[in-house]
Amino acid sequence: MGAMQCATCSSPLTSTGKTFRCACGGTWVPEAAFVEMVAVMREGRVIIPWQGRAGDERPCPECHARMTPCALRGVALDRCDPHGIWFDDAELQRVLELASKFEIDEGPQQSVFADPSLRKAVFGDSSSFNDREREGFLGALLRLLLK
């Protein structure tokens, strides 16, 4: 696999650990990393309410196939099913804010923290966090994931 390219301006993307960023503000998030971000935020699995939308088909940063225009609660995104989701500048933050309203998935629960190091990085060694800590949680998560 060659260097990943921005879906907007074709510049090479820089890895920030779980996500890949462009200087233009675009962010590429592998599907599993996105599901994990939302699950960590909500302390459980939620149903991600994908919607279709019309729009130009932009190239996947990984495979360069045309991505499917889609939306989450009105935020216009693009996704390549095998690879991930493209967020333009500030869209990832908007979607994570909206994720507080996503429905909880009542199906069989898997571990919220598939990656124990992520939990430790966000919460330290404590096994729970209170409401006050929760307020700063989105910011902490974004700092961790977006650098």
Binding site for Zn ion (CB under 5 A): 6, 8-9, 11, 22, 24, 26, 60, 62-63, 80, 83
Neighbours of 83 (CB within 10 A): 18
Which tokens in the block code for residue 59?
Answer: 């190239």
Closest approach, Cβ 102 to Zn ion, in A, equals: 24
Closest approach, Cβ 95 to Zn ion, in A, equals: 18
Cβ closest to Zn ion, residue 63 vs residue 114 = 63
Closest approach, Cβ 34 to Zn ion, in A, equals: 14
Cβ closest to Zn ion, residue 9 vs residue 104 = 9
Closest approach, Cβ 21 to Zn ion, in A, equals: 9
Beta 84-87 vs 75-80: how paired, if at all? antiparallel
Q: Give residue 108's identity as a one-letter amino acid code.
A: P
**Within 13 Å, how many C-alpha atoms sit on residue 14's CB side?**
9
Cβ closest to Zn ion, residue 21 vs residue 45 = 21
Mutual angle of helices 91-98 and 31-42, in 10-degree steps: 40
Which tokens in the block code for residue 137?
Answer: 């949680």
Neighbours of 134 (CB within 10 A): 12
Cβ closest to Zn ion, residue 11 vs residue 93 = 11
Closest approach, Cβ 75 to Zn ion, in A, equals: 18
CB 62 within 8 A of CB 72: no
Cβ closest to Zn ion, residue 62 vs residue 91 = 62
- Ranges of H-type helices in 65-115: 91-98
